[in-house]
Structure 1
Amino acid sequence: MISLFILMSVWGTPAPDKDSADKTPEGGAYTVAHTTASAQPVAGMPEKKEGTHDVGLFYFTWLGQHPGGQKGIYNISQLLQTNPEALYRADDSRHSPLGQYHFWGEPLYGYYNSADPWVITRHIELLTMAGIDYLMLDATNSFYYPEVVTTLLDRLSFFRSQGWPVPKIAFYTNSASGTTVSHIYKRFYASGKHESCWYSPGGKPLIIGITEHNRKASDQTLSGNFKDVVSKDLEQYFDVREAQWPTGIYNKAAFPWISWDYPQRIHKGGVISVSVAQHGPATIVFSDTLHTKGRGYDVLAEKNTTAGVRSGKNYQSQWETVFKNEKRVNNVFITGWNEWVAIKMKNEKGIFFVDAFNEAFSRDIEMMKDGYGDDFYLQTIANIRKFKYNYKERGGGGNKTRIRILDTTLHQWNKAAAWFQDFRGDAIPRNFAGFAPSVHYWDSSARNDIVSIKVTNDKKNLYILVETALPVTAYNVTDRNWMNILLSTGHHEQDFGGFSYIVNRRPGTGGTTSVERSVGSGRWSDTGKARMHIWGNHMQVSIPLRMLKLNHHGTVGIKVADNVTRNADIMDYYITGDSAPIGRLAYLYSLN
């Protein structure tokens, strides 16, 4: 990604619960890190553009679900560096067996199993914050992974009951389409249990399949002999859109998951495909890197560039098609989030991998360990914000509120300038099998579940009220990661992941706590003292504005984090403990 620090609004506040119906939450979140140059600095709540501006994401539920093909962990990128001969041999049964799934790289959450509720919970939070409207579940090979999907639907329903605008769900079928749609209907739709989860832009649940009207748009119908079409009865229940394959004949009424054309074609309803990388049109084999368009493909130069991989050059060019046709595009479908693996196969030409190969030739946006980190996640957020929202600077004014730190009556916060909510129930332990039998993941770092943050200020102080689901755990005198508050006050060269200050790494005596300034490399230097009071499930803090080099105007980014294990690594704020909001994001507050 281009190293450019910006403020970028991100959807991040659900409707209030019944107990707080007299007070509407406001706020949002923004990234405080490097992202695409096309984004502009903004502040305040995003306002949705008029008309439909939906964004969907191809979501894969297959990791860990094919025991015969996942006897171990095989990483193509690692093999290319350490043992390329094994990768390209058909008879290496130890290091790189034929017929086994190979990861192109390691996900940030490890070599996980798609059914892991801890991972699913993180995904829901990340994608909700990004502004994703629907997840299109991959059932193109007739597998639809009911156990994984059931867990996904249950977690989505749980967070939707809190008022969060979590993504809706649809399925993309292709091979054995009629049979697959029938199975999916019986397993998930017939009971009506998850009615609120279905993505239904036209009133009926959307599903992608093949009917008699496909017109050779799918690879399955090109020969003209395909008979396994969606039944007439299910055509009545579903809003069936035809599967559009990149090798198929263009059908305007179909729904594309990827396009080998550039600029991409726009389909009925203003649907357009946006993908991180594309194989073809000469080959569907991603390991044939000469004939594919990887992450670093330069449209103008018509070639892949190593320098363009981390900047998401190819992905951005796909988004530019959207922005050039904004009046015609209503629905952007992104490929994809979490595919991660490809089977090692062999033909007369040798070893090959389809759909994923390495960092440059893969289509995943989900954060990876090392490599591109969270670059593609932040790039996705930047483009979704530009597509879906209008931004305008929120002016000052409003109530200037002085908070009495030792006052435990919450009514003094009734006129707070901003109220931000975090996911309740996201701070859960992890104990689940990984992708292969040799892998199991444990994480017990979840401690204080941060559920809301209120913010206000007067001329001298910034006041923050943090609420947790249960009483705040006691400080153990040694932790440096206990109920920290990170603050972004604008780009500074030595900021930590975009944050300039951290509060409460070193709680003191007499109701005081530390304020420290980032000096680079995850290190902090003492700046002064703030006042703090904790009672029950609330923490109240007063921070002098002069200490932050702020006056009572402008904006500040706020993150509260507890028990982040590797707290000198900004990426760990996606993984351990609880961060509100997750990862590199922060809540944006306008000083009055």
Structure 2
Amino acid sequence: MSHPEPRFFFTRRGFLTLSAATAATVGLSAFSSTDAHASAWPVASPLTPTADVSPTSVVTWDTRSDSWAARDGLGRVLPDFSEVGPPREDRFVGMFYFLWLGEHTTSGPWNIEQILAAHPEARDDKTHPAWGPMNDYHHWSEPAYGYYLSSDEWVIRRHARQLVDAGVDVVIFDATNGFDYPENYTALFDVYAAIRAEGERTPDIAFMCPWDPAKPLVKKLYQDIYAPGVHSDLWFTWKGKPLVLSNPALLGPDLRTLLGSDPAPLPVGATNGQTFTVAGNGRVVGARVPTWGSSTSGCTLTLRAGGPGGAVLATRTFTSIADNSICTVAPTTPLAAGTYYLEQSAPVGTVGWWTEPTSTVPGGQAYRNGTTVAGDRELYLEEGAVSTADVLDFFTFRDHQISFFAGQTGPNQWSWLEDHPQHEYLDGSGAVEQMSVSVAQNALNGRLAAMSEPTAQGRSFHAETLPSSGSLVRHGLNFQEQWDRVHDSDPEFVFVTGWNEWVAMRLDDWLVAEGDVIFVDQFDQEHSRDIEPMKGGHGDDYYYQLVSNIRRFKGVRDLEAATTPTSIAIDGSFSDWAAVGPTFRDHSGETAHRSEPGWGSAGTYTNTTGRNEILLSKVARDATTISFYVETAQTLTPRTDPNWMLLAIGIDGSTAPEWEGFQFIVNRTFATDGRSVLEASLGGWSWSAVTPVDIAISGNQLELAVPRAALGLAAATSVDLRFKWIDNPTVPGDMLDLLASGDTAPNGRFSYRYRASLP
């Protein structure tokens, strides 16, 4: 007679109990270097609907960020329509997103990079006083927005903009440790809803739940968010239903007892029974039934009120029972608080009920033929406001593979992080449904590892090697190798790990980690996997690498056509701009001030640099002049304000000195006659006056005109230029500062591109 298999519990950050055999499958065996293609799973899950992804909210303010240009800090240029082609509406990208910052420990902040820079000897000494307390969370470095908390709505809004500009379709919240952080997801939902109410896009949302036990959290999410329809327009749907990353097999009824150790046979004409109590909302009651290997056995289960002979609430007859099956019966309405009796009768063939000789069910009692006997019968009882059947029917489930190396081991399974070459995860038809991409992996030589191990697979790891020098850390070689694998396989969905984890718990011991100092998922710049920009280090390099690869995966829209040449009178009336196109739009709400608590001693973060909210801009041309227009949400502040409404201009193909790809700037200085001044870069943020230019300002509008010749453009020629508006930077010339200071249109390193044929 077979017995139930042992159970284990695993989380990603170091709290686990599992057998040695289980540990081997989780990541201690060597990965395969063969091609990751696999045969199709023969049967699609019955949970898989036929419909596809549902539309999101209506977009009325389209910034067309997929057509923006950018060059990152390493000189890498984003691909455009000519390189990647039009958008592919059947390709999707999910970003692993973290809501846990500030929810467990907030001592410090303890910055590992700073600790090691000041005390390199601490690298191999867990007793060094520079470390924070054991089991406290440490930051691997400092985010560009500071040591923020996940509830910071100012940061949440900026994240939404960055992710949607990159082409991310859904943020997938990390709930793998069993916490869902409702206050933080509520803050994010509210910000996303506000952005959508403004007519703009945000990513959708989904959750990735614990590997084991998933049941309580999935049901909690269903009860708290999905059943009441909380922000339903934000839900990411896959194959017609909201997506949840969880194993549906873990959503079975709750076992109210320990596993029974003694099978009690049921003779012909006899009954077995068990009383039990419920606190309310009892939905399903069941027994584990041994058949001693027979496949032709049967019996009847009857649910009664009170005890033996009580009123019948439900009954069900079972035939051809597989050995050790859980047979269940459900009342027509949930059981109220009280005592109930489950009775087994009418045996066919060899059948019984697993029993524990000692008492294990609180308030319960085993019975034979209506008379009490020692011990308790093994009992399954599902109780609660949420039905497992309802949850199973509501979601599209994708079981998330825990191993970095094993690949797909069953149908309807996805990966979240894998060693290269990543496996293809197939749907029921054999098509490649999903693959994962990660910045780095806490893996080493085919085994699970801690990021604090010096040769773990960091950001520079590629071709099965981690370079000895850290000089390549900005280049994202590991990240790109994983993306290249995805581009070759072309799945429907890519899961990217990750955006903003930032912290790891300092552990005294963990699994097979080598070394005295142990941090599992994050450690330092090399051994970390966040894409969100950091202060110093690689800055925003990984963000633009993400944008570039998503564009190659999903495609982009082409530039909108410029209207016919128009001569603009710089007179402050602005009426001659009405027929000029295209319109270059910026995100709204970016000048909101920040006053939010930070992590521990980081204190309150205050930012009041938001000033002129840039909404839209235009460009016009004629044979001799290039004219620019910009409109803000409110009346423009005085141009005597510092760093007021700067216009950076870059000429395609120019080899002149530049700042971040822009050869010219306007409005940095003004002439004595009131006109603005066009300046040329001398290299970097150093400028030399070229010529005064006409400018007119009225209310919330501004227009100016630059002579073609001053930009190095011959008369009556085509135009291909990039431009951006910058208001109130705190550190002029610093691209990372543009993420947080004032307003920039478009954001960060992005620029608008204007292309027009002969006038």
Question: TM-score per shorter chain, which class?
Answer: 0.7 to 0.9
Q: What is the alpha-carbon distance in structure 2 between the residues aligned to residue 543 and residue 308 of structure 1?
A: 41
> Residue 59 and residue 142 in structure 1: after superposition, are their counterparts in 2 closer, same or farther (change >3 A)?
same
CA distance in 1, matches of 2:468, 2:551: 27
Identity, % of aligned positions: 32
Matched, 1:558 2:723: yes
> Quick check: 1:209 aligned with 2:246?
yes
Q: Is the 8 A contact 2:99 2:184 kept in 1?
A: yes
Alignment CA distance shift 1:213-1:442 (3 Å): closer
Counterpart in the other structure of 1:399: 564
Q: 1:333 aligns with which of 484, 488, 495?
A: 495
TM-aligned CA distance change 1:464 to 1:299, over 3 Å: same
Call closer, same or farther: CA 1:408–1:393 in 2, change over 3 Å.
Answer: closer
> Offset at 1:568?
2.2
CA distance in 1: counterparts of 2:75 and 2:175, whole angstroms: 32
Could you tell me how far apart the structure 1 residues matched to 2:414 and 2:179 are? 19
1:352 aligns with 2:535: no
> Shift in Å at residue 526 of structure 1?
0.8
Q: Distance in 1 between matches of 2:407 and 2:755?
A: 51
The equivalent of 1:449 in structure 2 is 613
Out of 675, 689, 697, the residue aligned to residue 526 of structure 1 is 689
* Change in CA separation of 1:485 and 1:409 when aligned onto 2, cut-off 3 Å: closer
The letter of the residue matching 2:508 is K
Alignment of structure 1 residues 125-524 onto 2, 5 Å = 125-174=161-210, 175-212=212-249, 231-246=388-403, 250-251=408-409, 252-268=411-427, 270-280=433-443, 281-290=446-455, 292-299=456-463, 301=465, 306-326=470-490, 329-347=491-509, 350-389=516-555, 398-410=563-575, 412-476=576-640, 479=642, 481-490=643-652, 492=655, 494-508=657-671, 510=673, 512-524=675-687
Mean alpha-carbon deviation: is it higher for 581-590 or for 258-267? 258-267
Distance 1:390 1:431 in 2: 36
Q: Residue in 2 aligned with 1:221?
A: none
CA drift of 1:573 comes to 1.0
Native 8 Å contact 1:43 1:391 kept in 2: no
Distance 1:43 1:211, change over 3 A: closer
Q: Is the 8 Å Cα contact of residues 559 and 581 (structure 1) preserved in structure 2?
A: yes
Whole-angstrom distance in 1 between the partners of 2:87 and 2:218: 33
CA contact (8 A) 1:54 1:332 kept: yes
Question: Separation in 2 of the partners of 1:426 and 1:553?
Answer: 34
Return the alpha-carbon distance in structure 2 between the equivalents of residues 519 and 333 of structure 1: 43
Change (3 A) 1:185 1:243: same
What's the offset of the Cα at 1:141?
0.5
Counterpart in the other structure of 1:541: 704
CA distance in 2 between counterparts of 1:324 and 1:94 reads 46
| Secondary structure in 2 matching 1:504 | strand
Query: Rg bigger for which structure?
Result: 2
Q: TM-score, normalised by structure 1?
A: 0.87
User: What is the aligned counterpart of 2:96 among 55, 58, 62?
Assistant: 58
- SS for the counterpart of 1:31 is coil
Contact 1:399 1:415 in 2 (8 A): no
Alignment pair present for 1:581 and 2:717: no
Residues 77, 437 of structure 1: alpha-carbon distance in 2 compared, 3 angstrom cutoff = closer
How far residue 489 of structure 1 moved from its aligned partner, in angstroms, is 1.3
- SS state of the match for residue 399, structure 1? coil
Task: Give the secondary structure class of the aligned counterpart of 2:547.
Answer: helix
Q: CA deviation at 1:128?
A: 1.3
Change (3 A) 1:353 1:502: same
CA deviations over 1:71-127 (Å, ceiling 9, x no partner): 111111111121244465444566432111111111111111111111111111111
1:409 Cα deviation from its structure 2 partner: 4.5
Residue 237 to residue 97, structure 1, CA distance change in 2 (3 Å): same
Q: Is the 8 A contact 2:63 2:586 kept in 1?
A: no
Aligned residues of 1:44 and 1:392 also touching (Cα < 8 A): no
Compared with structure 1, are the counterparts of its residues 457 and 249 closer, same or farther at alpha carbon in structure 2 (3 Å cutoff)? closer
- Going from structure 1 to structure 2, the CA distance change for 1:358 and 1:255 (only over 3 Å counts) comes to same
Q: CA deviation at 1:499?
A: 1.6
Cα distance between partner residues in 2 of 1:230 and 1:245: 27
- Residues 125 and 522 of structure 1, relative CA distance in 2, 3 Å threshold: same
User: CA separation of 1:390/1:505 partners in 2, compared to 1, >3 Å: closer, same or farther?
Assistant: closer
- SS for the counterpart of 1:212 is helix
What is the RMSD of the two structures over their aligned residues, measured on CA atoms? Answer: 2.8
Query: Which letter maps to 1:262?
Result: P
Within 1, Cα distance between the matches of 2:81 and 2:400?
38
Native 8 Å contact 1:43 1:555 kept in 2: no
Q: By how many angstroms is 1:316 displaced?
A: 0.4
| Separation of aligned partners in 2, 1:15 and 1:61 | 26
Separation of aligned partners in 2, 1:343 and 1:26 = 40
Deviates most, 201-210 or 492-501: 492-501
Q: Is the 8 A contact 2:169 2:204 kept in 1?
A: yes
1:203 counterpart letter in structure 2:
G
- Equivalent position SS for 1:533: strand
Contact between 1:210 and 1:230, CA under 8 Å: does it hold in 2? no
Question: Aligned residue pairs: how many?
Answer: 552
Q: Structure 1's 143 and 449: CA in aligned 2 closer, same or farther, altered over 3 A?
A: same
TM-score, length of structure 2 as denominator length: 0.68
Query: What whole-Å deviation, never above 9, does each CA across 1:22-81 have from its counterpart, x for those lacking one?
Result: xx98783111335686965667997303x5111111111111122xx2211111111112
Amino acid at match of 1:497: E
Q: Please say if residues 558 and 588 of structure 1, whose CA atoms lie closer than 8 Å, have aligned partners that are also in contact.
A: yes
Q: CA deviation at 1:201?
A: 2.9
Higher mean C-alpha displacement, 548-557 vs 39-48: 39-48
Structure 2, unpaired ranges of 5+ = 1-57, 252-379
Q: Return 556-565 or 413-422, whichever deviates more.
A: 413-422
